[in-house]
A and B are shown apart, each in its own frame.
Chain A
């Protein structure tokens, strides 16, 4: 049987059917994973901007996939599920790394917006603030600035990875967009915070 001719889902099904035969199950899973090595490697390289980090990330992806494969029920394509796993791990690693590093924007005195209290009665207020952030991202920032801020702050993609991924040709790459977009947010939310602190309302 040429395993490479089977679909992803057929390989998983065959591995499960060969549950008692470790070698046969392994062969199916090896064929399945090998099929996606280049794709995951390319994606990890793209967002890591560093091949050692990409290798570590890709390795963690397949370990997680192997660990969680029993939870894959075929409600989506395997490739879709693989992407969600890959993205999730990358984001968690990226966000964690970002939290550890000293952020240049903090050094420039970026505002730390005020968090609303978590009480249920303030849920509406929090939604207004969150909506104001989204609105600022869409209206106050250039699309490229907003995209870079999102990739860096929300998805945790390193600046080098964003520069590579978006083919940014300027000298400082993604950093320039982080700084310019961050300043715009500072202007808008700086004013807003001042008004709110003085008892004003959301604009």
Chain B
């Protein structure tokens, strides 16, 4: 066996080891109380037997049980919970639903402004100078958006992430997006003017790269060995970078997410 050339750190090896389908681990949310309660006693017994020797699932079970415990988690002080909750209430994302095109989805004008500075709740706008400034910024953006939309030939509102196209990045991903019926065999995006090739990357939600390739155009078929590594009920991310003639980066998509719906009962662990 020829010794491979490149190196991975310990955490990269461990992430790859437990992202490997051969690990046979169920999705992390399986360990939530409600999810376990929905399974048969036999299924629960098999899951517990698996967790008894699998450190990954034992850890995920601990994490899920911590979520089930709510704010009554051992070692967590009530005053700290109150602090975090007060921050959440002050930064509530609601109040920013700007348009709903067909009644089946929501869009907001918040995230385009900042990933870290939330739009304040209304009551805070009245009491805090900082929030007044933030609110003023939001109003300016909203006014600009309204102006744009009122102009003839204004661009359409962004499409939903589930189905359709993900816009916002410099390359628009088309499919697969959101919940899909089957594990996808190909990735599809809209061409970007000037691009002569595209670098496509498929990864797990924790950014472990499962496959990467540079291809001339959309769509690209996933290799069989990659498809074999994909699981139902597990979310994956993919991105596309548009490259110019000299290999220079012209733009990239926002990370697109998809998940194949779980298989019927009996096909799970």
Contacts and interface: CB of A to CB of B under 8 A. Distances in A.
Contact of B88 (A25, A37, A71): A37
Given A37-B89, A134-B18, A42 B71 contact: yes
B266 interface: no
A153 B14 contact: yes
A115 B88 contact: no
A92 B206 contact: yes
Nearest to B38: A77
Interface string A21-52: 01001100110011001111111111100010
B88 A58 contact: yes
Interface string A108-119: 001111111110
Interface stretch (B94-102, B188-196, B214-222): B94-102
Given A59-B118, A133-B17, A44 B10 contact: no
Interface size range of chain A in the complex? 35 or more
A186 B66 CA distance: 31
A145 B9 CA distance: 18
A159 interface: no
A71 B161 contact: yes
A84 B87 contact: no
A41 B84 contact: yes
A71 B178 contact: yes
A154 B261 CA distance: 24
Contacts of B16: 130
A56 to B, nearest CB: 8
Interface residues of B, number: 89
A67 B168 CA distance: 13
Contact of B23 (A120, A134, A152): A134
Contacts of A197: 3
A59 B91 CA distance: 7
B32 interface: yes
A68 B17 contact: no
Given A79-B32, A147-B58, A122 B111 contact: no
Given A60-B115, A63-B110, A151-B59, A133 B75 contact: no
Interface string A183-202: 00100000000001101111
Interface string B66-101: 110111111110001101110111011111111010
Nearest to B5: A117
A-B pairs, 5 with minimum CB distance = A70-B105, A146-B55, A19-B100, A41-B84, A153-B11
Given A60-B115, A67-B108, 15 more contacts: A22-B97, A39-B70, A42-B72, A45-B73, A54-B80, A54-B84, A58-B88, A63-B111, A79-B34, A112-B10, A130-B17, A130-B20, A138-B54, A150-B14, A155-B206
